[in-house]
Amino acid sequence: MIGALEAGGTKMVCAIFSNEGELIERVSYPTETPKDVMPKIIDFFKGFPELKAIGVGSFGPIGVNKDIGTFGYITTTPKLAWQHFNLYGTLKDALNLPIAWTTDVNAAAYGELRQGAAQDVKNCIYLTVGTGVGGGVVVNENVVEGFAHPETGHMLLRKHEDDYYEGFCPFHDNCVESLAAGPAIEGRWGKKAIELADQAEVWELEADYLAQALYNYYVTLSSERFILGGGVMKQSQLFPLIREKFEQLNNGYLELPALDSFIVPPLLGDNAGITGCYELAKDLLEEAVEN
Amino acid sequence: MIGALEAGGTKMVCAIFSNEGELIERVSYPTETPKDVMPKIIDFFKGFPELKAIGVGSFGPIGVNKDIGTFGYITTTPKLAWQHFNLYGTLKDALNLPIAWTTDVNAAAYGELRQGAAQDVKNCIYLTVGTGVGGGVVVNENVVEGFAHPETGHMLLRKHEDDYYEGFCPFHDNCVESLAAGPAIEGRWGKKAIELADQAEVWELEADYLAQALYNYYVTLSSERFILGGGVMKQSQLFPLIREKFEQLNNGYLELPALDSFIVPPLLGDNAGITGCYELAKDLLEEAVEN
């Protein structure tokens, strides 16, 4: 059996998969504080003595670089109770199992690559557009980590000349999170995204910003697929608009994949994260056997 | 022995390395047309019957996706004689050797990673800023290719509000090539970069655009090192300015590597490309042995 933990900002999803990859059990607990929730998570996994490994995809920022003292920690999150909490180490100490460790969005990207909307390719980006913007990056079938992990929500954009909204990211007035996440829509137009569904200018502008971000990821990586999820993307009229703006930005320069199958919604829905965690833990076990 | 061909827009550099990686021979021919130069290149390599493989890094755009008919071709280059020329296939037919095939800038990035300014890390971007802007991308010790190859010179930027220069890229008025390559400097200020060395405002603006591009690559990949070469970067006053602007753009958000060893010049100089070609061909031979 293989365990999966999607450690999200609002809930902790714990799951158990069979060796054949079947989802056997799935529970979730409110994220609250480490003191409240960690014992529940540990008890849950201890209930499965056949577990061979666990995959963890965590909200961030997290430490992923083994050469730096913050490996395994949730670092500078605004959730005070979780700041500088050693999530990896706490699980390792309690469960003594191999643990695959990455960001929640990297796990979701990997889940979609292995079993979802990017099964037929090797390179994808999973972007979630909700209360913030975050993205997971897969290159050549591996999740990307470097000095730290991708922070695709902070891609800097050209602000639209008619857009007087000042952005809500405390660090960047023109990053995609600052201009296109849910709070930006509400801040700019005075209503929530869901109440603006029939306002064409809202989605034109939103699509423009998201297309700029995708174009910049594309020139960097030549990704084969962009998977867009999160609350804002429930406005599915965005998909054709983003494709159209992407093509306009390209202006005939680069050869592109067929747009309808290039910029797409997720296939795995709420299970993208735990599926990716399972797949990463399985890879870890396979690597251990090979070495 | 292993061969290397750096197919550049102005010259074709052919090299021979010993099995131990020593550079034994290095010649170059003007790029001219395929009809002129291909026989010279082929004759050169045929002079070394002990060759076991060749690595090729080519100017582009080139086809790198084996699922598409353009694999191995130089595709939509403005150099008419080279448009839709099957460089890989021509070499393969003439020499019948294993050939590693990627872009010139990917090869240079890989050369710097294996033997140059990024030897101590696994993730780097090599950006050349000259008559155009091009970049090679290495993630987890592999050159990046996806649907096509990276086109990092076309990263879209926020234009500076005081900058009235309209850009020279025929496709994008605000990509880094359009705003920061040599012709942009000359177009904006009316003189070549080298004649503007003492004009502080020229380099402030140049550093601002290059830092924007680097920041956007960084949020996508968390690269551990940026290596900046090419004619414009001979203005070495740019390095401290770019580091400073990069830090300003980050605005305290992301933890960064120490800036002095993060944004750096190349170490291999004119040999970055052929070194990368050699290393890629060596990898190809090693993979063949493993499989």
B61-B264-B116 Cα angle (round to 5): 75
- pTM: predicted TM-score of the whole model, two decimal places: 0.97
- Enter the CATH code of domain A2-104: 3.30.420.40
What is the least distance, in Å, from the CA of A147 to any CA of chain B?
5
Nearest CA of chain B to the CA of A76: how many Å?
9
Strand A99-103 and strand A53-58: the pairing is parallel
CB A253 within 8 A of CB A219: no
Residue of B nearest to A221 (CA): B150
| Tens of pLDDT, residues A111-129 | 999 999 999 999 999 999 9
* Interface touch A221/B219, C-beta < 8 Å: no
Q: Which chain A residue is nearest to residue B218, measuring alpha carbons?
A: A150
- Which stretches of chain B drop beneath a pLDDT of 70? none
pLDDT of residue A288: 87
CB contact under 8 A, B224 and A146: yes
CA distance B130 to A20: 53
CATH architecture of B117-264: 2-Layer Sandwich (3.30)
Chain A residue nearest residue B223, CA to CA: A146
Nearest chain B Cα distance for residue A13, angstroms: 26
Token digits of residue B21: 């990686």
Domain boundaries, chain A: 2-104, 117-264
Residues of chain A with pLDDT under 50: none
CB atoms under 10 Å from CB of B125, counted, come to: 29
Task: Please tell me the predicted confidence (pLDDT) of residue A46.
Answer: 98
Strand-strand pairing, A23-30 and A53-58 = unpaired
Whether residue B222 and residue A122 make contact (CB cut-off 8 A), yes or no, is: no
Measured between beta carbons, the chain B residues lying within 8 angstroms of A172 are 249, 251, 253
Most B-contacting residue of A174, A220, A224 (CB-CB within 10 A), to test interface: A220
Query: Do A117-264 and A2-104 have the same topology in CATH?
Result: yes
Closest by Cα among B129, B70, B72, B75 to B105: B129
Give the three-class secondary structure for A29. Answer: strand
Does residue A30 have a cis bond before it (omega within 30 degrees)? no
Within 8 A of A175 by CB-CB distance, chain B residues are 219
Name the residue among A140, A146, A251 with its Cβ closest to that of B171. Answer: A251
CB contact under 8 A, B253 and A157: no
| Distance from the B226 Cα atom to the nearest Cα atom in chain A, whole angstroms | 12
> Which two structure tokens, joined as six digits, stand for B264?
């750096």
A152 close to A137: Cβ distance less than 8 angstroms: yes
Please give the share of chain B, as a percent, with pLDDT higher than 90.
Answer: 96
Rounded to two decimals, the ipTM of the complex is 0.97
The pLDDT value given to residue B289: 87
